[in-house]
Amino acid sequence: MKKYSEFEIEISDIKFPNIGLADVDGFPIEVKGALPGQRLLIRLVQKGKVNKGKVLEVLQPAPREIAPACPVFGLCGGCAFGHIPYDYEVELKTKMIKQIFSPLNMEDKFLETLPAVSESRYRNKMEYSFGDDGEAGNLTLGMRKKGSYYEAVDASCCLLCHEDFGKIQSATLAHFVAKGEHFFHRRKGTGSLRHLQIRHGINTGELLVNLVTAGDGDYNDYAEMLLGLPLENKIVGVLNTVNNSLADAVRPEEVKLLHGHDYFYEDFSKDGHGMRYKIPAFSFFQTNTEMTERLYATIADFAGDLTDKTVFDLYCGAGTIGLYLAKSAKVKRVVGVEIVEDAIISAKENAALSGVDCEFIAGDVKNVVKELSESPDVIILDPPREGIVPKTIPHILAFGAQKIVYVSCKPTSLMANLPAFLEGGYKIGKIQCVDMFPRTANVEVVMELYR
């Protein structure tokens, strides 16, 4: 097989995250986004330790493949499974997660995957990118086009979020097209428009809009335009975040408040806990509100009886997990640690809102754990996608907690961290996949570790 050669393959299997596998006379090939059973014409674009193919044509669809409901599926980089029934999506996700942990022979540890309550309109946060439409160079706003650094696909039709998101996106694009403004081109250093973030309190009906730009512009007229839109929900805050870095990410160098406030509220009341959370613009909060309550219930179940016990909630964000546990059990004490200071401020306010006595500490977990002298009974770990910094794990182990509940949105990171916990005297209890992200390749994994 020569690089850039073209040939037909049939996808025989799939691995995380959404990578189809094929074998041609003992030559293994990976094709991103391919489904088992598809017959494809591909071009070999990478040869070596990993051989990768690019799809040129789908010669035969997968047995359970269906027509996608979204008109930009396949162009937009958001969804991975818009072309199969949801029950099959859950089946594939479960299979991929089990494959990751297969070297440890843990098949019997997995509980049945918790599917999402809703397959659509579940996301409470979207981040759109400004770009262009290719050769014509017209300003666009939407999801980054697959395989492109600068093109953006109109995602106002997105089925994963509330219709108000699409209205705000379309109005934003029309506003800046009329003003003749351009997107921020990182290589050329031209233009100012970078991202549009929208966050939604699904149970409160509150919207927080954040326009991310480079340079020092005046966007008060933009905020006024937004407030005049006919929306089902209410805009409670409009921000302008200034980010002059070259990284294609939202990094708040300066935040200007154009309207209202820089946070929104969300309520959890269906499960009887009556929790109310204040979520700042840059604080982490699970993107699927409806499934968050199920996720937290799973964490509480894995944590066990917390009566008169001390719980450490590390990487706590706005304190939502720790507060949920404190509200649902007679916990002796909850200590939360989070690097984002605004999130800790909100965590303290959330504790007051919920009538819960918790301590929240602002700082990097890898540093704070060295300073904590208490011995927790249970530790909750919900780190960022990249997992826990390896040097931090020995300090977590030193606490000697009877139980650890590890919550991971990237199971390969959990797998990378896991050997250190097993070598440190912990065993694996139950494992629960919770589908927080229908139609995407991601899935949340909750793992119980006990001494």
**Catalytic residue annotation:** 409
Tracing tokens 């003003």 back to the chain, one arrives at 179
Among candidates 81, 78, 260, which has minimal Cα distance to 169?
Answer: 78
Q: What is the distance between the terminal CA atoms of the chain, rounded to a whole angstrom?
A: 50
Could you tell me the CA-to-CA distances from 19 to 11, 34, 199, 267, 441 in Å, in that order?
10, 6, 30, 37, 10
Gyration radius of the chain over CA positions: 23
* Strand spans (E) along 105-233: 125-132, 139-144, 152-154, 193-201, 206-213
**Residue found under tokens 């072309």:** 83
Residue type, 219: Y
Spatial neighbors of 382 by CB under 8 A, at least 6 apart, are 313, 314, 315, 316, 317, 321, 407, 408
Our CA angle for 142, 143, 146, nearest 5°, is 140
Classified as helix, coil or strand, 364 is: coil
Amino acid at residue number 96 = M
d(CA 261, CA 288): 23
Query: Rounded distance, CA 298 to CA 112, Å?
Result: 12
Beta-strand pair 19-24/27-32: antiparallel
Distances (CA, A) of 38 to 41, 53, 57, 339: 10, 14, 10, 45
Q: Confirm if 47 and 3 have CB atoms less than 8 A apart.
A: yes
Q: Is the peptide bond before 17 cis (omega within 30 degrees of 0)?
A: yes
Residue 131 neighbours by CB under 8 Å, 6+ apart: 139, 140, 141, 142, 144, 145, 148, 150, 151, 152, 183
**Bridge partner list, 46:** 52
Task: Report residue 343 as tokens.
Answer: 């999130």
The strand pairing partners of 53, in sequence order, are 44
The shares of helix, strand and coil residues in the chain, as percent rounded to the nearest 5, are: 25, 35, 40
